[in-house]
Amino acid sequence: MRPRIMVVAAALLTCAGVRAADDASPSPVPSPPAAAQAPAETPAPPAAAAAQESPPPSVTVIGARDAHGILGRDVRSSANEDMGRIVDVIVDRDGKVRAAVIDFGGFLGVGSRKIVVDWNALRFAGVSSKSDSITLDLNKQQVSAAPEYKEDTPLIVLGAAGNLHPWDYEH
């Protein structure tokens, strides 16, 4: 398993190096007619050209047991009640994950509604395969009282006791 990861990492770094070399080589530009040519400019010093090159991307390898996608995952309460499925993740302007949108209630998608729960109210400890569910620190009664999520309106985020933090949504 380790040699495969090292080969993938080496391949990514090689591709990044080739890409950086391609970006550094000047592309041919047709020269304007002699009458339209401006006086020759002094070329930028090599240090300035090096500063304009972007650094190669970083590579991070995460083990298959250490990270999992969550969209479409079942959500259950601590009492093992079916709470729905995660259908979206809400982030703030800084990219920090703030909440999850859960398609809650209904039967086979009929009569369900989307509600927003605080990210800190979700527990991922038992999630090791796609069939495992995520645990929500709220019960079915609490979630059924939550208002429905509507895009492009202020979010009302349902949180477990002590975890809900208001958002400044006026910006």
Return the HEC string of the chain.
Answer: CHHHHHHHHHHHHHHHHHHHHHHHCCCCCCCCCHHHCCCCCCCCCHHHHHHHCCCCCCCCCCCCCCCCCCCCCEEEECCCCEEEEEEEEEECCCCCEEEEEEEECCECCECCEEEEEEHHHEECCCCCCCCCCEEECCCHHHHHCCCCCCCCCCCCEECCCCCCCCCCCCC
- Please state the separation of Cα 103 from the chain's center in Å: 19
For residue 45, what pLDDT is reported?
58
Note the pTM of the prediction, 2 decimals.
Answer: 0.60
> Tokens in use for 15?
């591709």
Lowest mean pLDDT among 12-16, 102-106, 155-159: 12-16
Mean pLDDT of 94-99: 94
One-letter identity of residue 127: V
CA 45 to chain centre: 39
